[in-house]
Structure 1
Amino acid sequence: MPPLLPFSLDALRSHAIFVPPASTSDDGWELVGPQPSYDGLPALKNARLVVRDRDLIVAFGKEIRMTSLSSDGLELRGTSVGGYKTLKSPHLTFTIHQLVLNPTGRMLAVVGHHQLVVLVLPRAGLSGSAGGEIVCRSMPVDQFQHSPSSLTALTKVQWHPWGEGGNSLWVLASNGTLFEYDILHPQDPVQTFSLLPAETSRAKSKFSAIDPLSYHATSFTFGCGNADFAPLMVYGLMANGDIYTMGPVLPLSADVPEEYLGALQAFVAERMDEIDDMEVKQPGQEGSAEYASLVGRRQMQEAWVSAVVTQCSSDSEGEPSTPSTSPRRRGYGLPASPPRSERLPPLPGFVRVHPPHLTAAGGPAPGAHRPLARQGPLLFNPAPQEVGNGDDVDEQSATDLTILHAFGNVPEGQDPGLGINVLAIAWSSGRVDLGIEPDGSEPRWITSRDPAPTNPILHVVESVLSSFPTSDLDAIALNAPAFVKDPIQSDVVYISHAFGVDAVSVAPWVSQLLAGEGHLSPSDVAPLVKASPSKPVVGVETFCDVTLGYGLLALASSGQLATVEMDVRVPDWRLSAPKSAPVPDKNSESLLSTPFEVSLPGGDFNPKAAIRKAPDSHKALSAISPEHITALRDAAAQIKTRSRAVEAASAKVEARLDLQVKEYARQLAVLRQCAASTSALRSAAMRSTERAEAVLQAQDALGDRLDAVITALMAQQRPQIGAVERSWFDELYRVQARVNGARGAPGFAARLQVLKEQLEVVRPRVKAADAQAEEYGARQLRPLQAAVGSRGDELARLVRKMDALNVRVDGME
């Protein structure tokens, strides 16, 4: 038995699974080879590291490795630490960019630039430390749509948390189309949504003023919540920062928490009661368009929720679902989905439902159903700060979007409440915008009962900036930050970018916002990992396990691993002391802050009254008696007491006058100091202004000289071109644009390649249909033959057109 090295995160850095393959020339040539060009568009996000319980999965190039970590330790085999197994599949023929694990941990989505494959992972413990290979069952997803030469890239892949058995896979393409795939039948999407308006009116010319980033989708995410429509809303992010939302969106076969459905039903009922209260408290609004739109929208929401709740009651009573035909698919010979009776029942506390506009099999449900309304883009109020790393801040692009359901610092034993949703947007320059929706997005449909919706508002609370170690604009242009959520703290998110990993906690200002405080503290931002631009970070994963602990792993492109062990945030509210008041500076404290009070003894001061107490005080004094002496003594005592009080008050007044004189002198000194500081700042500002003006003048002079030099060089090196040559070059540019494409528009070569790949996908199905030709009649075969013939004619026309264009180009050259 080989010796064991005690397990630790430091020892994990030397694991053999992180050693890059010996031969990476193919991958290297593939990186510099011809790739589909998206001028000025964001780079692809990388996530090549996944942790499943105690299993570690890493991707290098086209290879996927898997190992199991044990608390016993890591085996030492010669100079290597530990071992791994390679997951093999005939469909892994592309460079891997992302690994996405499904909620059950049984399947792994392997994402490339244009292709997508789902692997069925071996059970836990099967990937021991011994080397070798494991042949895994794999399922390519929609090869017809996601082919190697597809004109759209895969920008975000995510498993829906409510999908039946974790089989609901959602894929966002760069053209703004959102697909849902059932992994049991991954050949075609079961639902399709468009997060962007139609591009028919978009100008395709070279001089179009429309920003191409506004039509490039980079990320999407689902909402969070406990008792409203937020979990049913989907948010889509464009490269220019626009956010569109749509809902209600539900997987075709969803296992929804029963508690959430009950809370949602109560939420909708409460909103309908508000409508009734408005009719009573504010009569006369029934005829307004705004009131009619509000009533129509909430009635449609109530009808949608009622339709979903009805499915739960039907299933509980054992009623059969409504029969319907299977939806029409693009492919040939696809098997139908298994009936619901053959599928596993939902877990306790969950109910199985499907979208009301579809049947359980995926076909259109009977009745009239309105399409969902696309809402957005969201209006930023106030606008985010225009900050970023590098000079070209205007050219930054939005790369990722996530929603944090934060509760803040909740004291122990108190109800955390519903929390608040924080939207986070990551930009290529390192900026992260944090905002909240004051009203929240709600479902809307395209109907006359609810006119065109207004754009929702997003309040941007703050914009934080990640610390990039370089100001190289080329490195920043290839940067695509992505969010990684914390497994324990819902108000903490990690930003993975090419230059490292940063942690952002929104707990400080979320707690103050929920408490109703006016001033909000900034978020806590801490850099965790720093990487070199030549070895960017390509994978970040958080974990929380008994064996591994609680921490973060970051993988560089060179195979180097960075580990961060974190502490669980458990505030002890019972021992927490109130915040101490800030200690003021002695020099800035006023000498007159103590209140000035002068008090005299209480009671009436009347010495004559004491004298009147003597006998015969109103008569002439003939003899002095003891009573007279006692009265005089009392009067003298009152006079003496009052004189002492007057002396003490006089001393206090004199001391107060001295303090006022000192305070006056202190204020004069502070004013002199402020005047000196202001004068120094004014002098420095004047010097800086004069220096800046001199630099600008010198720069203008250098620019004029440089223009003159360039003009002279151009006149010497390149002769004048005539009108005929210019028209000839313009024709060459137009032909080249039509053949190769321009500004992201596909050319003839790209279209031909896509048609060839689609034909390769369709051909096996056509052959299978031909094998059963004897079972079909002439009427059934005629549409298939017509489709194949039209596709062949189209390919022939494209080939002839390509040949003619090649001849023309050769002739012009």
Structure 2
Amino acid sequence: MAVQQRPTWLNQLPSHSIFELDEQEYLEWSRINSRDNTKTSTPSASSLSAPRLGAGQKASFGLEDLQEEYQRANQGLSCMTVHRQDMYVAVGRQIRYANLSDLKSNVENNGCAAAAEYIEGKQHKILKIENIDFDIRRLITNQDGKLLAVVGDEKVVVVVLPKAIRQDAKAVQCRSFVVGEFYHINKGPSKVVKVLWHPLSQGYTHLLVMTHDSTLRMYDVGEDFDEPEQVLSFAGKWQKSSTYGLDVDHAASFCFGSKYSPWGQLAIYCLTQNGDVYMMCPIMPQNCVLKIEDLETIREQVEGKIRQSRTRSKLEDLEQKWLEDLLQSMESHPFSDEVVIVRNPDLRNAKVARQGPFLYQPAPIEPDDDDNRAYDILALETEAVGVLALAYSCGKVDICITVDPPSSRWALLSTATRKSGTYTLDDDDNDGDDDGQSEDEDHLPTLSVYETVDLGILKIFGTTNSSRTGGYSLVESRMSIPNHPVLVADSMYNDIFYIYHDTGAHYVLIKPWLDELTGIYEAASQGVPGLDSRIAKFYNSKTKSTVGCIVTTRPTKTSPPAPIVGFSVVTDAYLEYSLVLLTASLQVIGQELMTRPKATDAAIQSRPAQPSLTGSKDKDKEFYYCALSLPAFGSQDGLVALSGLPLQPKVVLPPGVGSAKIIVTEENLQFLNKVARGVRDSLRDVYTACDVAQQRLVAQEEEYKRQQTEVEKANERIKTSIQKKIQAQVTRQENQAELHKKLMTRVDELLRKLTEARGPELSSAEKAWALEVVKSERVVRTFDERRHKVQTQYEILKRRMQSSLNGNGDEVSGAVIRKQPVAGAGERSTSRSGHQPVVYERQPVRRYGTSQLQTVESALSVEAQLLDTTMKMVSNVTSRLEVVDISKD
């Protein structure tokens, strides 16, 4: 019974609905292909859908339905990009979105049945974008994944991706705007060559667009998407002029420098179609994010360069001013202490100069292709040295080492140029000006061509044509198919990169020689002598890079075209390390990769052999040495090759071709022979690795037996000699454990008390006690009111007693004032109410005796004592209430 393979997100990705077409999408895809590649009319709906939309047929189209129309296509209209867990796929003029984490969670965690049910549903979303009225060639997301650049031949559109794109409906409405519409649309020389987001932009909003006329425009799409923030030209004056009869060298691609170099991250390399490499430095956005240590290195280099100069030139003064303005504009970053925000200084009298062309030393190997053109350039993020990779249409890849590290260079603007408002540089006129305006060809930067890699495409698709003109025979060699290679860096490891093209995809691993060069670099930084001999040995060894094919989509010359149009390296922690490739016929290839061991593990394996176990400390006893050699036994090339990359490439043909009748031709036989030879070589490597592993296994078994014997001897020695010490240690451990247990009990009790003291809720006893306190508070409050009344009465009585004892005033005279009316007083004085005026007469009062006064005094003293007691009780309760604050229910 066959065991069903556990579904993974990579092997289920080709069945995802994002790569399927319904009837309308299928017709649109066919119409665009037919329009771009043939002059036939657009196929009608009846002619295309009749054989596919019969009774009982599905309402969507897969790969097998694309065969007819795809045979007429030379280049697909699909592309793909993956940013973290989000996948964006362009089909014709439509952009689709899918979340790969949802795919993995639904496919791998719920079983095969749930995975099949999930795959059958339509799980992708369509982005509704208004400005997409062109054929999409490339999709590029910025660093934070909020903006998506949609690139066409003459138009660039930036799409603002919504935050809740995963929660939206099937159709997601997105805002978009056209970038540089005046400069790119319907402009022949301004055809878009390459588009990249600047990695040092503060808000990841700076977009760089390279056009066919070697002009690089930098747009800050967060501020203005119509006008560029900076315009840079990599073309010379002769190329800008309207001269005739010259083969104008157009731009092919550009890239940023390495982030491990302070100046390198501010440098931009430009590659022309004839293979020339130019550089401009420093190129930075208006609001740029730089590391503090890189900024300090730049400052030291500029100041050191100025100190070493004997005579200060205008360019050095401008460079000093540029540095001062850069440091003055420095602001702290709101989210990190390691980086700062700086502003690009504006030098009105100078602009960044073009450096180059780079000198190739030695010259690269030229292939037998008269129409060979350069197509892409990539700067690897290597720390020891700068490495540039150049890809050509014939399948050649030049791997170069930057001998001269990137440095800044400016050129002064001429007076006429400044008055006209343009920014043409004078560095191409060799007029010998002392101000640094001219470009000295003796100081051109140098590239050391370390290796030229041949992908083998020219051997398969190369053609030779001979012609005779005027008695001379002319032999012309060229590629029989168009090829547009694209270089992709690995975002996890900096010593490997990939090339995808019209016939498949390859990998190039430079780790074998880069490790040696890194060792030389570290030795140089530590001041180790003998570097010259090590460098000479490195170049004489001629260690080659490891090159392999991942996927081939056109194994023979007669095979139908199936170019790779999308290549993404997935490094998300949840999705794991893997590759995702897309062909123009919407075929997806997933390749799971393996991460490498950490540097600490590799360092442990590379340590020299040391005694691991020792015998007795007696001098007549020898130390125990491990019989196994170091470094430790690791993965073999034949068993685990290149971290999961295949030994033999996967053959992916367009849909329907695999089921066609096989025609035996010489080319097909040669391809089968090549595949069989590769399989035999791989099997030989596997057998060799198995033999090595078997020998290692036997050695490890012997070593294991030796170690068992030594362990038994050590065990006997332990039992006889240090048993008492062990018992004492055991007792001590038990005591410590008991003490630890007691301490943990105390800690738990303290923690419980603290929790109860700080707890937001009270127990029933505490609530009852709180009620009693409230009642007591009410009683105390009643006593307090009574105390005030008694105290008032006491004061009145006390005053009366003092008045009686002193014999003064009205009371002492023995009279009481009494109101009496006075006759005849109405004439003199009357009140407003008409009453008669009154007079007050003294009346005799009754005096108290001594015994009576003593009785009153004793009663008042008792009341005073009672008041003092009550006051003390009130003070006590008040102090207790201040300590414990209890909220009433």
TM-score for both structures, normalised by structure 1: 0.57
Which residue of structure 2 lines up, in the alignment, with residue 612 of structure 1?
Answer: none
Which residue of structure 1 lines up, in the alignment, with residue 452 of structure 2?
Answer: 463
Deviations 1:284-316 (A, max 9, x none): xx5xxxxx59x776554443222211111xx46
1:211 aligns with 2:176: no
SS of 1:218 mapped into structure 2: strand
Check the 8 A contact 2:154/2:190 in 1, yes or no: yes
Which residue of structure 1 lines up, in the alignment, with residue 365 of structure 2?
Answer: 385
SS of 1:188 mapped into structure 2: coil
2:551 is matched with which residue: 507, 524, 529?
529
CA RMSD of aligned residues (A): 3.0
SS of 1:164 mapped into structure 2: coil
1:564 is matched with which residue: 591, 594, 597?
591
Flag the 1:140–1:348 CA change in 2: closer, same or farther, 3 A.
Answer: farther
1:400 aligns with 2:418: no
Q: CA separation in 2, counterparts of 1:117 and 1:19?
A: 25
SS of 2:12 mapped into structure 1: helix
Which residue of structure 2 lines up, in the alignment, with residue 412 of structure 1?
Answer: none
Deviations 1:19-41 (A, max 9, x none): 2542123211331269xxxxxxx
Flag the 1:171–1:105 CA change in 2: closer, same or farther, 3 A.
Answer: same
1:25 aligns with 2:5: no
Larger RCO, structure (CA 8 Å, separation 6 or more): 1
Which residue of structure 1 lines up, in the alignment, with residue 174 of structure 2?
Answer: 136
Superposed, 1:139-158 pairs within 5 Å as 139-148=177-186, 150-158=188-196
Flag the 1:306–1:47 CA change in 2: closer, same or farther, 3 A.
Answer: farther
Superposed, 1:479-558 pairs within 5 Å as 479-514=483-518, 515=520, 516-517=534-535, 518=537, 519-532=541-554, 534-558=561-585
Flag the 1:561–1:373 CA change in 2: closer, same or farther, 3 A.
Answer: same
Which residue of structure 1 lines up, in the alignment, with residue 220 of structure 2?
Answer: 182
1:426 aligns with 2:357: no
Which residue of structure 1 lines up, in the alignment, with residue 148 of structure 2?
Answer: 108
Q: CA separation in 1, counterparts of 2:181 and 2:210?
A: 15
Q: CA separation in 2, counterparts of 1:228 and 1:529?
A: 37
Structure 2: gaps (5+ residues): 1-5, 40-73, 108-114, 413-433, 464-477, 521-533, 555-559, 610-889
Deviations 1:580-614 (A, max 9, x none): 9xxxxxxxxxxxxxxxxxxxxxxxxxxxxxxxxxx
Superposed, 1:444-455 pairs within 5 Å as 444-447=409-412, 448-450=434-436, 451-454=438-441, 455=444
Structure 1 runs (4+) deviating above 6 angstroms are: 43-47
Q: Which amino acid aligns with 2:400?
A: G
Q: CA separation in 1, counterparts of 2:257 and 2:317?
A: 22
TM-superposed deviation, 1:467: 3.4
1:194 is matched with which residue: 233, 236, 239?
233
Q: Which amino acid aligns with 2:106?
A: G
Check the 8 A contact 1:176/1:196 in 2, yes or no: yes
Which residue of structure 2 lines up, in the alignment, with residue 677 of structure 1?
Answer: none
1:220 aligns with 2:260: no
Which residue of structure 1 lines up, in the alignment, with residue 605 of structure 2?
Answer: 576
TM-superposed deviation, 1:531: 1.1
Q: CA separation in 1, counterparts of 2:75 and 2:144?
A: 26
Check the 8 A contact 2:461/2:481 in 1, yes or no: no
Q: Which amino acid aligns with 1:449?
A: D
Q: CA separation in 2, counterparts of 1:403 and 1:383?
A: 19
Which residue of structure 2 lines up, in the alignment, with residue 664 of structure 1?
Answer: none
Flag the 1:235–1:252 CA change in 2: closer, same or farther, 3 A.
Answer: same
Flag the 1:404–1:25 CA change in 2: closer, same or farther, 3 A.
Answer: same
Deviations 1:411-457 (A, max 9, x none): xxxxxxxx211011000111110111212232212244334233211
Which residue of structure 2 lines up, in the alignment, with residue 256 of structure 1?
Answer: 290
The number of equivalent residue pairs is: 493
Superposed, 1:168-179 pairs within 5 Å as 168-179=206-217
Bigger Rg, structure 1 or 2 = 2
Deviations 1:379-406 (A, max 9, x none): 111111113xxx5x13110000111122
Which residue of structure 2 lines up, in the alignment, with residue 373 of structure 1?
Answer: 353
Q: Which amino acid aligns with 1:72?
A: S
Flag the 1:272–1:78 CA change in 2: closer, same or farther, 3 A.
Answer: closer
Deviations 1:703-737 (A, max 9, x none): xxxxxxxxxxxxxxxxxxxxxxxxxxxxxxxxxxx
Check the 8 A contact 2:16/2:119 in 1, yes or no: no
SS of 2:408 mapped into structure 1: coil
Check the 8 A contact 1:375/1:453 in 2, yes or no: no
Check the 8 A contact 2:582/2:588 in 1, yes or no: yes
Which residue of structure 1 lines up, in the alignment, with residue 130 of structure 2?
Answer: 90
1:349 is matched with which residue: 326, 331, 338?
338
Check the 8 A contact 1:423/1:436 in 2, yes or no: yes
Which residue of structure 2 lines up, in the alignment, with residue 307 of structure 1?
Answer: 325
SS of 1:545 mapped into structure 2: coil
Q: Which amino acid aligns with 2:31?
A: D
Query: Percent sequence identity over matched residues?
Result: 29
SS of 1:573 mapped into structure 2: helix
SS of 2:11 mapped into structure 1: helix
SS of 1:371 mapped into structure 2: strand
TM-score for both structures, normalised by structure 2: 0.52
Q: CA separation in 1, counterparts of 2:577 and 2:221?
A: 32
Superposed, 1:711-750 pairs within 5 Å as none
Q: Which amino acid aligns with 1:460?
A: V
Q: CA separation in 2, counterparts of 1:380 and 1:225?
A: 23
1:56 aligns with 2:87: yes
Flag the 1:32–1:463 CA change in 2: closer, same or farther, 3 A.
Answer: same
Flag the 1:89–1:263 CA change in 2: closer, same or farther, 3 A.
Answer: same
Flag the 1:79–1:563 CA change in 2: closer, same or farther, 3 A.
Answer: closer
Check the 8 A contact 1:230/1:440 in 2, yes or no: yes
TM-superposed deviation, 1:149: 5.5
Deviations 1:333-362 (A, max 9, x none): xxxxxxxxxxx95754332222211xxxxx
Superposed, 1:659-670 pairs within 5 Å as none
Q: CA separation in 1, counterparts of 2:75 and 2:390?
A: 16
SS of 1:165 mapped into structure 2: coil
Segment drifting more, 571-580 vs 25-34: 571-580
Q: CA separation in 2, counterparts of 1:399 and 1:263?
A: 34
Q: Which amino acid aligns with 1:446?
A: A
Check the 8 A contact 1:55/1:124 in 2, yes or no: no
Flag the 1:546–1:248 CA change in 2: closer, same or farther, 3 A.
Answer: closer
Which residue of structure 2 lines up, in the alignment, with residue 72 of structure 1?
Answer: 105
SS of 1:420 mapped into structure 2: coil
Structure 1: gaps (5+ residues): 35-42, 277-285, 287-291, 317-343, 358-364, 408-418, 581-813
Which residue of structure 2 lines up, in the alignment, with residue 585 of structure 1?
Answer: none
Check the 8 A contact 1:224/1:404 in 2, yes or no: yes
TM-superposed deviation, 1:461: 0.6
Q: CA separation in 1, counterparts of 2:322 and 2:542?
A: 38
Q: CA separation in 2, counterparts of 1:11 and 1:482?
A: 26
Deviations 1:607-658 (A, max 9, x none): xxxxxxxxxxxxxxxxxxxxxxxxxxxxxxxxxxxxxxxxxxxxxxxxxxxx
Superposed, 1:271-350 pairs within 5 Å as 271-272=305-306, 275=308, 286=310, 300-312=318-330, 315=331, 347-350=336-339
